[in-house]
């Protein structure tokens, strides 16, 4: 027996892509990054979370795509860099680091090589390398 085509009454309430992530506006993100840089470990959780997410957003804007997943638990993750993507399970190219290291990498406070060498950056996969993308341009015009 064939099912009738979905309409507004029978369509699922949720489907992949139904909710877009809200963008962090530069007037919110830039001060959070500045505060996180100034206060370091003393920055409150909300400030650190906003700074991390804003810098991840800047990376995704700089290098759109789905080949590499950059994870900064517990605050966020983005997919970036053009090339072959993935649709299920763990992506083949994953980079993971802690919030303080991500903020330092993204703002130029430390290098990719130093983060990897110190064990603060874990990268797996042939394309899991952000060397040419760091630091990310995060001081953007507010009208963006």
Q: How much is the average pLDDT of 80-107? A: 88
Average pLDDT, the chain: 86
Q: How much is the average pLDDT of 96-110? A: 98
d(CA 115, CA 110): 7
- Domain tally for the chain? 1
- Does residue 139 fall inside a structural domain? no
Residue 144 has pLDDT above 80, yes or no: no
- Does residue 12 fall inside a structural domain? no
Contact 125, 92 (CB under 8 A): yes
Question: Which structural domain, as residue segments, surrounds residue 58?
Answer: 26-133
- Does residue 42 fall inside a structural domain? yes
Task: Tell me which range, 19-33, 86-100, 123-137, is most confidently predicted by mean pLDDT.
Answer: 123-137
- Does residue 72 fall inside a structural domain? yes
Q: How much is the average pLDDT of 27-35? A: 97
Residue written as tokens 């500045």?
34
Q: Do the bridges between strand 94-97 and strand 76-80 make them parallel or antiparallel, or are there none, so unpaired?
A: unpaired
- Does residue 15 fall inside a structural domain? no
pTM of the model: 0.82
d(CA 70, CA 59): 9
- Does residue 52 fall inside a structural domain? yes
User: In this predicted model, what pLDDT tens digit does every residue of 40-71 receive, in sequence order?
Assistant: 989 999 999 999 999 999 999 999 999 999 99
Q: What pLDDT is attached to residue 88?
A: 67
- Does residue 140 fall inside a structural domain? no
Q: List the structure tokens of 28.
A: 């919110």
d(CA 141, CA 137): 11
- Does residue 6 fall inside a structural domain? no
Q: List the structure tokens of 119.
A: 């064990």
Predicted confidence band of residue 140 (pLDDT cuts 50, 70, 90): low
Residue 137 has pLDDT above 80, yes or no: yes
* Domain containing residue 93: CATH number: 3.30.1050.40
Q: What pLDDT is attached to residue 39?
A: 97
């Amino acid at each position: 027996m064939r099912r009738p085509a979905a309409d507004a009454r029978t369509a699922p309430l949720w489907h992949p892509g139904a909710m877009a992530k809200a963008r962090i506006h530069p007037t919110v993100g830039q001060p959070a990054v500045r505060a996180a840089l100034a206060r370091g470990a003393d920055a409150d959780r909300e400030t650190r979370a906003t700074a991390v997410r804003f810098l991840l957003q800047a990376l995704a804007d700089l290098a759109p795509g789905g080949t590499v997943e950059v994870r900064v638990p517990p605050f966020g993750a983005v997919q970036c860099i053009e090339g072959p993507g993935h649709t299920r399970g763990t992506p083949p190219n994953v980079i993971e680091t802690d919030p303080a290291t991500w903020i330092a990498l993204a703002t130029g406070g430390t290098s990719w090589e130093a983060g990897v060498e110190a064990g603060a950056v874990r990268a797996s996969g042939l394309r899991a390398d952000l060397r040419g993308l760091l630091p990310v341009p995060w001081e953007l015009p507010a009208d963006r």
